[in-house]
Amino acid sequence: MSKVLIIGAGGVGRVTAVKCAQHPAVFSEIMLASRTESKCIDIANDVKKRTGRTIQTAQVDAENVPELVALIRSFNPVLVIHVALPYQDLTIMDACLETGVHYLDTANYEPKDEAKFEYSWQWAYQDRFKEKGIMALLGCGFDPGVTSIFTARAAKHFFDEIHYLDIVDCNGGDHGKAFATNFNPEINIREITQNGRYWENGQWVETQPFEFRKELTYPNIGQRSSYLLYHEELESLVKNFPSIKRARFWMTFGDEYLTHLRVIQNIGMAGIEPVKYKGMEIVPLNFLKAVLPDPGSLGDNYSGETSIGCRIKGIKDGKEKTYYIWNNCSHQAAFDETGAQGVSYTTGVPAMTGAMMMLQGKWMNKGVFNVEEFNPDPFLDVLGKHGLPWQEEEGIDLEL
């Protein structure tokens, strides 16, 4: 039994809190903290109704290391589960180092002033975490997270060498809004409007945003337009599975979404550089975030489902082989259980499951690690029981 501190009170924080509360034998005490404590209190009240568990709440600025250290020392958790913003990864890691507490997140660090996604900043903590005798688990959401664990399963059980990896992410749901993002708008729009890139023959190949499109068929959903973009798990996967010759990430977008996105970009509302307005400096993307629907409000009446998985080609016993592993998640079922839509659910459930792996000693080491560096079996053995059942199929046409 262990105390955990969850930082972040958005949709993912809500799911993580509910799911941790469902397992009192592992998570004996839970605290939920964010910059706005009233959001934490609302979630805590909902957790009480759904699970009967009482969780504590607190206010903290996740970019302020002394505040974080004070909170960690007062609550004394074994593990900090960071599900707030990726800008805050390093300050929370610094606080964990100072207090000797394990760390878990769901997205890699990026600086506020540049949409740059890479693990170098966090991997640089390896020696300090190792010397402190604590562990940091990076990218334990769905993508990154479960997709990396899916790849590790493929490498362990189905392939001698993985040669081609395509991660495919489809949101086949309908929230009824003209335009909305399924997680933090600031992070979402920064991510998809940057140049893409993919790994091929030992190097990164850069692409223009939405330059490459394929019509892919997703289980239970059907055919959707899928676009190549960069996603952070590609960086760690090609490092940890060096036999990979090509690794790509595909995500679906509807025509209406892309039309709105083009307008947002054309009028400068996707900008991250401050502009002067009536004597004040504002960041256009921050303002846009304030007027767009809150992703946490999208769950009610959100129909359809997500489908995320890995399509892999490689060699087994000298013969070419194909393999597809995936999960489909119903937005409505996710909302009924946790009060959050499927995109938040598919991130929060793996965060809780990864925390469980650490606290039970099934995934534990000293230093900084990506999820695919651990045995995938114990994680996947329980992922379905936690609400994200997965399926796999061999020898199929991968459409890629």
- Residue owning tokens 């109704």: 49
Tens digit of each residue's pLDDT (9 = 90 or more) over 183-237: 566 667 767 778 899 999 999 999 998 899 999 999 999 999 999 999 999 999 9
Residues of the chain above pLDDT 70, percent:
94
Strand partners, 321: 314
- Range scoring the smallest mean pLDDT among 18-27, 295-304, 330-339: 295-304
List b or e across 102-130, with b for residues whose CB sees 16 or more CB atoms inside 10 angstroms.
bbbbbbbbbeeeebebebeebbebeeebe
Q: How confident is the model at residue 4 (pLDDT cuts 50, 70, 90)?
A: very high
CA atoms lying within 13 Å on the CB side of residue 157: 16
**Looking at the domain that runs over 146-338+389-394, which CATH code has it been given?**
3.30.360.10
73 in helix, strand or coil?
A: helix
CA separation for the pair 389, 50 (Å, rounded): 22
Query: What pLDDT is stored for residue 192 in this prediction?
Result: 76
Query: What pLDDT is stored for residue 125 in this prediction?
Result: 98
Q: Does the pLDDT of residue 289 top 80, yes or no? A: no
Cβ-based neighbour number of residue 326 at 10 Å: 22
Query: What pLDDT is stored for residue 231 in this prediction?
Result: 93
Q: Does the pLDDT of residue 279 top 70, yes or no? A: yes
> Helices (DSSP H) in the chain: which residue ranges?
11-21, 37-51, 65-75, 89-99, 120-123, 126-132, 146-157, 185-193, 233-240, 255-266, 284-291, 331-338, 342-359, 376-383
CA separation for the pair 235, 119 (Å, rounded): 8
Tens digit of each residue's pLDDT (9 = 90 or more) over 108-123: 998 877 767 789 999 9
**Do you find a cis peptide bond into 144, omega within 30 degrees of 0?**
yes
- Residue owning tokens 């959100």: 302
Q: Please provide residue 228's backbone torsions phi and psi, each rounded to the nearest 5 degrees.
A: -80, 125
Burial of 291 (0-12, 13-18, 19+ CB in 10 A): exposed
H/E element, 320: strand 319-330
Beta carbons of 363 and 354 less than 8 angstroms apart: yes
Q: Does the pLDDT of residue 331 top 70, yes or no? A: yes
CA separation for the pair 5, 105 (Å, rounded): 12
Is domain 2-138 given the CATH code 2.60.40.10 in the classification?
no
Tell me how long the chain is.
Answer: 400
- The secondary structure of residue 91, as a DSSP letter, is H
297 in helix, strand or coil?
A: helix
Q: Does the pLDDT of residue 332 top 60, yes or no? A: yes
Q: Does the pLDDT of residue 300 top 70, yes or no? A: no
Four-residue CA torsion sign, 82, 327, 228, 11: negative
- The secondary structure of residue 328, as a DSSP letter, is E
Largest interatomic CA distance in the chain: 68
- Please list, in sequence order, all residues whose beta carbon lies within 8 angstroms of the beta carbon of residue 319, skipping any fewer than 6 positions away: none
Whole-Å CA distances, 249 to 15, 184, 196, 233, 324: 25, 20, 9, 9, 14
Write out the residue limits of the CATH 3.30.360.10 domain(s) in the chain. Answer: 146-338+389-394
Which tokens go with 281? Answer: 């400096």
Mean pLDDT, the chain, rounded, equals 92
Q: Does the pLDDT of residue 180 top 70, yes or no? A: no
List b or e across 8-17, with b for residues whose CB sees 16 or more CB atoms inside 10 angstroms.
bbbbbbbbbb
CA separation for the pair 372, 379 (Å, rounded): 11
Cβ-based neighbour number of residue 213 at 10 Å: 12
Q: Considering only CA atoms, give the Rg of the chain.
A: 20
Which tokens go with 284? Answer: 């256009």
Q: What is the identity of the amino acid at 317?
A: D
- Residue owning tokens 């979404």: 257
For strands 2-7 and 246-252, give the pairing: unpaired
Q: Does the pLDDT of residue 179 top 70, yes or no? A: no
